[in-house]
Every structure is written in structure tokens, then in C-alpha cells.
Structure 1
């Protein structure tokens, strides 16, 4: 046991203890050659273990040379915090926030899903980082990630992960028209109404697990709007396809495989039987998508380039609009590209919106004065008759306070810790900080949205920040990019308007239908307790709903 414990020292003195251990071994074996011959059965495995530990130390525990000039989080302290499912709010307050405050540039280093990474927390640096795609291009996905669950599911050749180049430009040119045409406002309203019917079966007053309910609602929304497939998650919580998708989704977010994706390779998968089963479920899911793609292509071919003629253009599913746009633009998308983009849009537009809406319900519940103003905004536009009213796109634009509320909700309670990482092909600088060639960088979203040097009282929830002429507008004019839940620049999330309209529809209808409050015994009274590394999901966040009609 003493040997085992000495092999797992604290990070601060790991190097000294490693060499101390090695010297003790040498001191205890004056005649190394004869000792190895006598004890080769134990010496060789020991050498392999020590060699492996040294590789782990150099590749994982020790930051690369180009990051050693930055304040950095201790490997074991930071990774341990992520693995413990500790609320990221606490990790930010105790580890990453203080690191960002150490320097004027606010850049710090920590070990994340892309290995050792530099994290940006200042809006001036964010602006340069996101707009200068030649200086900070998207990274090519490492080979070992391609066979991982996340690699197979969402990291294919799509507009999210492709580096800048002809393939990305071709896809963006085809997908932009498709996304601009796709805005199924009526679908969102119908699904909200369908959900309310299910909720009302619980009585006039009841409590819900917000993330569970929002996950099922957004799953139906993204399935129908994305590729015309109804998961029936609202009415059939545990059906085959809902269960399958949840298993895939949960497996993709497991901390061990997010941080150490090489463990998810086909060669090591036998060590993790549950992982192999999740990959099998993913095979079935992707096969279903391919079946849908093949069917849609056939329909398009047989109808001379037009499908779903009985539906308004903005209510057509995204897959149909993608195929139509490719035809109209004279471009081409392979089945692999279509599959990759559907999976990327599906993932980016499902859990993220479910998190945002869960956080919104929480903030409405704990800020009754905000809830009152937001309800008055919805009633002013939609009226107060005791019936569900499905808003139109024009009516959504009139709900100015709800729009302010949504923006503040996305600022105060982030749903993603960071954006997809980029790298530096040459030496550069950010806000006076030298960024050497080969550095991996990303945005610390909480560090940016809660930056006390930029935002007044950043921990407070105040929708008035986003009023015309308010704090947010002034910051945007003078301080670069300080609010970016959907990133920014040419690589900005292509589905931003889709998600925002989805939130506007649901929140306005919810406020007319229910009054919200937090249960007396809620563990979330100070802040939302979350789990996850990249996507911050609320844990058992319950909210009371009381029917207004």
C-alpha cells in the first residue's frame, strides 16, 4: 500500500514525488543489472508501470509548455471537481473565477475535454477570438475521438465541427436558407398546449421536475421540426425511441469518456459493457435517421424538388428544407453530411433549450416581481381569456419584456460551460497575453457572463440590463462580446433564432396558464445545482405550478 499511495500524489509535488520514488528504487538496488536479472518477473512490470505513469504525467497532469505562463487550475483539484458532479457554480466561485481575476487579460488554463486548454473570460479577447477565424480556426477532431460516442453522434462532417474551408462553406451556404425558412412557431404552440393537457391531469396545483418535462417537450419539438419524426415523449415517457435517445444522450455526457475519449475506442470498449450497449443503441438510432433521409430523398425526387406542399414553408421540417435548399442552390450534401448536420442540430437544439427553459422556470419562480412583469407582457399581447392562445411570429416580437427576461436568463444561468475549442496555427496575442502556436483555446461562458469588470452586480438576476439603451447595449458598444450564449461571429450557432422563438412561445404560454413558485424544501434556493462537464443540467429542479384557468 505505501507504494500505491506514493504513485498517486497531489499535483503540487507530483514531479518531485515521482523522481523521489524512482531514486529510492535505484538506491535500493545497488547492482541494477543483477537485480533485474534476479527479479525480472517483477522488475519489468514495475518499469512498465513507471513508464506509463511518466507518460500520463507528461501528457495529462503537466500542462504543455505553451500554457505554463498562465494561471492554471490544479489537475486533480479541477478534474476531481468535475468528476464529483459538484455544481459548476461552486467550481466557478472557488477555482476558475479566482484564476480569471488574477490577470488583466483574464485567461487561465485548465484540463478539459480537449486536454489542457486556455480559457477566455474577457469580451475584448472574445471578439478577436471569434471573429479572427484565420488566427483561431476550429480544430480538426483527433482520430481517437472519431469512434467515441460523441464523435459518432455529433462530431461528424457538419457546420458545427468542420474547420473553415470549402466543405464548411458549401454546407453553410445550403443550410443558411434552410434555417431562415424553418420557424415552426405554430408547432411550438401546439406542443405546449399538448404538454399542458398532460400536466393538468395532476390537478390544479402540483410540482414538476422541470428538466424531465422540458427534455420531453423539446425532444418532440426537435424530432418533428428536425426530420418529421415524433418521439411522442410528451405522452409516452418511456417508449422505445425516447428510452433509446436518453441512453445515447446520457452516455455521450459521461465525465470519464468526455475527458478521456480514448477509453471509448473500439479496442477498449470491451472493458465497459454498458458502453458497448450504448454504442449499439446509437447504431439503431443512426440507422433510423438514414431510413428517414433515404425516404425524404425519394419523395423529393418523385415530386420534382418540392415536398410537404400542404405545409407552410416555415413549418416544414429541417431535413426537407435542407434537401430543397441543396436543390435550389445547385449544391450537394452527401448522406453523411446530412446525417452529421441533423445529429448536430438535434443535440445542440435539444438539451440546450431544455436547460434554458428549466433555468427560466426557476428564475420565474424565485423572482415573483419578474414573473409578474413577464406575465403582464404576455397578457398585453395575447389577452387574458382562460384558453390557450398560440402566439404568432409577429406577436412574439411585441413581447419586449419576455425577450429581456430570456436574455438575462441566458446570461445569468448558462447551459454550456464553453464553446467548441479552437487552436492557434501561429504565435499571436489576446489582450496583451501571448498565445503561442499550438495552444488550444475556448470561451469560459460563466467567466464571461459573470465578469464583475464588465457587468454590474453580475450574480443578480436583472432583465432590465437588456432594456433598450441599458447596460447590455452599452457593453456591446464599448467592450466587445460579453453576451454570447450561442457564440458569435461566422461560427455562431445556426439555430439561434429557432431556439429563441421556441423559448418565447413556451414561456409566454406558460405564464398565461400557470403561476410558478419554488417548493419550500428546494435545495436550489441559493442557485441551481447542476451536473455535467460541457452541458450544465439542473439536478432534480422542481417547481410548483398553480393553474390560472
Structure 2
């Protein structure tokens, strides 16, 4: 909706702290309330006078499209949160800008063609089969599908990235990423931070975790640059391809740049897919009719065989389930930018230098695009239903020139994994509600346990 005036309405907060306490308690609900009470562009302030932060929440599909695509050059990754991510994970594709980003994108893009990504299907299927066997061995004990999908997605992306060096990377990443993510989150949303090199207990712990993470990446990169590697798919793992990536215009990646790309791929490549897969299983476990339809499609199309990349188009309902899970639980629940110049969004003035957020969590629940938005309904994603909605009513992979380069890989992995697990098991939810909170990606604040019943196709 467009407002009659040009100044953004402000979400009511406390006189001294604004909306700081509400944002700390539940930022996602605060953004939902902001849209519900004030419309599609809302000014939100947080913090005491002198260090008070102001952000503009943009919640319409048209507004999200303007920020991410149509006027993307005016909205940069210059805010405090991205700076903290940059200092922890480096200046890779997720955080780089301007010519750095364009150079990296040109070097990396050939690694993510549909044909090359499809070549990783067998590696994904092998990791899923291992997990499915572990579930069989678990017997009658419930499994936490969010925890297990995080482990699966990390092993899959590490296998594709590192080839034979999976175990060395997985152990460190699984321990380090949650700690690094929590550190980034604390600093990114704090109005005041001490320098990272001050020897506070928190800084010392973070520095130790960073060293361990960097050392394992640097060791594997050094070995790969010296020897090459056999790998899944077409014979080369992603790290080998990164090492070999070169062009006359852009040169090649040096050792630090390689580490930065690896860290971004590990972060974005496993947390987003794990969220989509885990919540897809959780939602199916809660909804027997939708689960039955998914089982029937998998049984009919695959007839007991292992799926491959060529099967994705033949599994439309499984794909719809995943898309609906990504609508309700988008891994990138909130996306931040900073306006370079003053502009207008949905009839509301945004000043130069303002922090702007678009929020899939909110837009994916917007009543203008989604009827009974909290209801799980995969039929929202039939081709006809998708064509009837604005393009940015659903944007779990971002959009515009900074859209996620790995979205085809994420869908390939998710469809194959969900289909294979549904082949082997029926699920019944133990936990009916799973609280969540935003971090670098959306994080569950509790388990999503399911009871498993082995089945035969």
C-alpha cells in the first residue's frame, strides 16, 4: 500500500529505547506487527538517544523488487551487519561489492551452470542414502529433522566442495559456524562494539574459532593447489574448479580469496538448504494429506530407484512442498541494505544513508498475496498460482543482480533429498511448534522431532 503522505510512519516504542527491546525479544514478530499496524514502509528506531539506530522496513513485493532489482545500485551492502559478516567470513560473493563482486561473479559463474550443478546429483544422493540408513538404525527413537538436515546439507556441500576431504572440514565447520554466527549477530545488532582486537573474553573465543576455521580451509586449499583432486560429478570438485578459475580479464583467485569463497559457499550452501529441507519434513509430518500426495508422487515417478537431476521436473508436488516450506520459513528471513541516495518506495521517502530492510518473513505472509498465510498449502506453487502473483511476493533466494548464485544447486539437493527420504520413511511430528529466530540465516530455537516408520515404495 502507498501512504497518503511522504514520511514513513514510525512503529511505536519506548521513549528512551524505541523498539530495541521488542527487536531483541522477537524481531520477526516486530516486523510483522510493523506492517500490520502501519503498512508497507515503516520507520523503526532502536536504542537510546545518541546511539539510536533507524531502519526502514519495506514489506511489499513491489518495494522488495525496487530494493533488490529495479533500483539495486542505490541499495548497497554497507550496513553494520554486513561489515561484521565481512570481517568474519571475508570478502567473498556474499559480501563483496562493486568491481570486486563483478570480478568474483564472472570467475565463479561457470562453476554454477545447470549442467555442472546437475553433475553433483549422485554425490548428494550418496550422502542422503547414508543418512537414511542411519535413520533405520535409530529404531523407534524420534529424530530431530532440523538437526539431521543441517548435518546432511553440510556433508553434501563439503563433499562437493572438497571432494575426499569431507570429514576434516565438517568437524571444524559444524563446531565453528554456530559460534562465529552468534558473534557476528551480537556485534551486528549492537549499537556499540569494542574493536575486535581488544582482548575481551568474547573476542578471544571468537579469534580462536576463526583461526581453527581458517586453518582447515587453508590447509585443504594448499594441498589442492599442489595436487588437484578426484571428486564427485564430472571428476572435479568445486575447490579444484575455484583453484583453476582464471580469465584474461579477471586473473585468478589468490589463496586468501579462495578461502573467502570457500567460507561463503560453506555458509550459504548448507544453512539455507538445511532450513528448507528440515522444515519441509516438519511440515509434512504435521499434515498427513499433503504427505500422502508427496509419497504417491515419489512412488509413481521413481518406482524405488534413486532420483537424479533429470527427475526434478517430474516431481512437481515435492518441489511445491519445498517452495511452501521456504515461504513459511525462509532461510534469509531479513535482508539488509543501505540507501546511497534519497529515494521513494511505495510513495514514502527514504533518506540518503538510511538502513533499509526487506523481509521475506513478512512479505511471504502479506495478505495481499497470500490468503490464510500461516496455513501450509503446497498448491500455492502450482504454475498457475505462481503466475498470478507479483514476482517478489516470494523471494527466498533474494533477487536482482545479487540473487543467490547457488539456487539451482539448493533446489537440486533439496528435491533429491526429500524424495529419497520420503521413499524410505513415513513421518509423524512429535514437536508441533518450532520457535525460530534470525541469525545470519534463520535458526530454530528448539527441536523438530519426528517419529519414523520405514516404508516400501
TM-score bracket relative to the smaller structure? 0.7 to 0.9
Output one character per residue of 1:78-125: Cα deviation in whole Å (capped at 9) or x when no partner.
Answer: 4434544x5x6xx52xx322321344544442559x953212110011
Equivalents in 2 of 1:534, 1:251: separation in Å? 10
Q: Which residue of 2 aligns with 1:168?
A: 101
2:214 corresponds to 1:286: yes
**Is this contact kept in 2: 1:411–1:449, CA < 8 A?**
yes
Q: Which residue of 2 aligns with 1:189?
A: 125
Equivalents in 1 of 2:279, 2:315: separation in Å? 19
Equivalents in 1 of 2:46, 2:333: separation in Å? 13
Output one character per residue of 1:291-343: Cα deviation in whole Å (capped at 9) or x when no partner.
Answer: 2222222235xxxxxx64x7543x63222222333258863222222221211
Q: Which residue of 1 aligns with 2:383?
A: 468
Q: Which residue of 2 aligns with 1:177?
A: 110
From the superposition, tell whether residues 328 and 319 of structure 1 become closer, same or farther in structure 2 (CA, over 3 Å): farther
What are the equivalent positions in structure 2 for 1:50-129 lying under 5 Å apart?
A: 69-72=8-11, 74=13, 76=17, 78-84=19-25, 91-92=28-29, 95-111=30-46, 115-129=53-67
**Is this contact kept in 1: 2:342–2:349, CA < 8 A?**
yes
Equivalents in 1 of 2:45, 2:165: separation in Å? 41
Equivalents in 2 of 1:77, 1:512: separation in Å? 51
Q: Which residue of 1 aligns with 2:3?
A: none
TM-score (norm 1): 0.74
**Is this contact kept in 2: 1:179–1:318, CA < 8 A?**
no
Q: In structure 2, list runs of 5 or more residues that go unmatched.
A: 1-5
Output one character per residue of 1:1-44: Cα deviation in whole Å (capped at 9) or x when no partner.
Answer: xxxxxxxxxxxxxxxxxxxxxxxxxxxxxxxxxxxxxxxxxxxx
From the superposition, tell whether residues 437 and 225 of structure 1 become closer, same or farther in structure 2 (CA, over 3 Å): same
Equivalents in 1 of 2:402, 2:169: separation in Å? 35
**Is this contact kept in 1: 2:323–2:378, CA < 8 A?**
yes
Equivalents in 1 of 2:447, 2:260: separation in Å? 32
From the superposition, tell whether residues 197 and 249 of structure 1 become closer, same or farther in structure 2 (CA, over 3 Å): same
Q: Which residue of 2 aligns with 1:271?
A: 200
Q: 2:414 aligns with which of 498, 503, 516?
A: 503
Equivalents in 1 of 2:271, 2:354: separation in Å? 29
2:137 corresponds to 1:201: yes
2:435 corresponds to 1:529: yes
Q: Which residue of 1 aligns with 2:312?
A: 396
**Is this contact kept in 1: 2:181–2:440, CA < 8 A?**
no
Equivalents in 1 of 2:122, 2:248: separation in Å? 26
Equivalents in 2 of 1:167, 1:120: separation in Å? 28
**Is this contact kept in 2: 1:140–1:162, CA < 8 A?**
no
Equivalents in 2 of 1:293, 1:390: separation in Å? 32
From the superposition, tell whether residues 243 and 68 of structure 1 become closer, same or farther in structure 2 (CA, over 3 Å): farther
Equivalents in 1 of 2:256, 2:192: separation in Å? 23
Question: What RMSD, in angstroms, separates the aligned Cα atoms of the two structures?
Answer: 2.8
Q: In structure 1, list runs of 5 or more residues that go unmatched.
A: 1-66, 233-238, 301-306
Offset of residue 242 of structure 1: 2.0
**Is this contact kept in 2: 1:71–1:102, CA < 8 A?**
no
**Is this contact kept in 2: 1:145–1:261, CA < 8 A?**
no
2:325 corresponds to 1:409: yes
Offset of residue 265 of structure 1: 2.7
What are the equivalent positions in structure 2 for 1:205-354 lying under 5 Å apart?
A: 205-228=140-163, 230-232=165-167, 242=171, 245-254=174-183, 255-260=185-190, 263=193, 265-268=195-198, 270-272=199-201, 274-299=202-227, 308=230, 312-313=233-234, 316-326=236-246, 331-354=251-274
**Is this contact kept in 1: 2:275–2:442, CA < 8 A?**
yes
Larger radius of gyration: 1
Aligned length, in residue pairs: 440
Offset of residue 368 of structure 1: 0.7
Equivalents in 1 of 2:331, 2:232: separation in Å? 33
From the superposition, tell whether residues 115 and 491 of structure 1 become closer, same or farther in structure 2 (CA, over 3 Å): farther
TM-score (norm 2): 0.87
Output one character per residue of 1:148-202: Cα deviation in whole Å (capped at 9) or x when no partner.
Answer: 5x44332x22222122x22211111111111112341101100011112222112
